[in-house]
Amino acid sequence: PVNYGTSGAPVGGVDIQVSVSSHGLFEKTTKVCTMTVKGDGTSELGTCEHSESDDTAVASELPAIDPSTVVQIGKEIYEAIEDNQPTLNTTIDWAGAVPKGVTEWTQLENWQGPAQSDTYYVEFKNGLGTKLTKFAWRFVWKYGGDMNGVGKYVTQAGIDIDTAYAYLSEHLDVEVKSLKPVNYGTSAAPIGGVDVQVSVSSHGLFEKTTKVCTMTVKGDGTSALGTCEHGTFELSRRSNDPPTIDPADIAEIGKLIYDAVEDTQAVIDTSVDWAGAVPHGITDWTQLENWKGPVQSDSYYIEFKN
């Protein structure tokens, strides 16, 4: 979010970036297009990989598979709890650590598990000891998958929810990220692994607070707990004073990232999937007046052919 105007006459703006990926029998390919949209109704096209007659071809042969190089498949980030409501879908909300060149975990054999960790929890209370929110979970993953007898890899790594509670005045949000695919073995005997990071946030009448816990899960069925803020924490009551609003300082509201199409299915929800550039201190676009539009750009498209 940027102020494209002046301190006396601010013009908020924000970049919208669309990433289009295609994969299947062909190499996974991603094209990116960025547009800056501004509060004066103008826009500016940034770097944009698009074409009106794109004959971009991807390799017609299947990608070479390198068991010693571990890459991530599945989802990099997703919501498990959103505003007190469970949104976790374990059929698609997971990550894996597999050989480079593998795009589907079913290309590997001899999977075992799922393995699961101990139960961890994050609980927030007020100064009187009243429970405001609590989230408890286990890390889960399948392991041992191999490519023609070589390696031990990970799939369906994520979490299993044990408890999700929020007091009437409070809001509980849980985000899961998967990152750092690594070969924890050797080139000859690779062991794939990936970090699963859980971020638990609570807010409402009390200050918004987030606690993070990370677990590394590995293809040999073992795991290693990383930095993990778990247990019970006390929240501070939010000040009754409204936040100071600075029109010259532009802040972003709305969603930072979301999926528009997922595995060929349209999943965009325009009521919640959007972003805004507003004065610092504004938390809801309805606090502003005299909205116009919507403005829309020309049409852009990305097409992949063989």
249-274 per-position pLDDT tens digit: 898 888 878 888 988 888 898 888 88
User: Region 69-87: what's the mean pLDDT?
Assistant: 95
Which two structure tokens, joined as six digits, stand for 168? Answer: 């009437």
Q: What percent of the chain has pLDDT over 70?
A: 93
Going 217 to 218 to 223 to 224, the CA torsion angle's sign is: negative
Catalogue the E-assigned strands of the chain: 2-3, 12-22, 29-38, 43-48, 66-74, 77-82, 85-86, 95-100, 112-125, 131-147, 150-166, 171-183, 192-203, 209-218, 223-228, 231-234, 246-254, 261-262, 265-266, 275-280
User: Region 27-37: what's the mean pLDDT?
Assistant: 83
pLDDT of 57 reads 44
User: Region 176-203: what's the mean pLDDT?
Assistant: 95
Which two structure tokens, joined as six digits, stand for 95? Answer: 């990550």
From the list 202, 71, 80, the residue with the least C-alpha distance to 139 is: 80
pLDDT(290) > 50: yes
Please state, rounded to an integer, the average pLDDT across all residues of the chain.
89
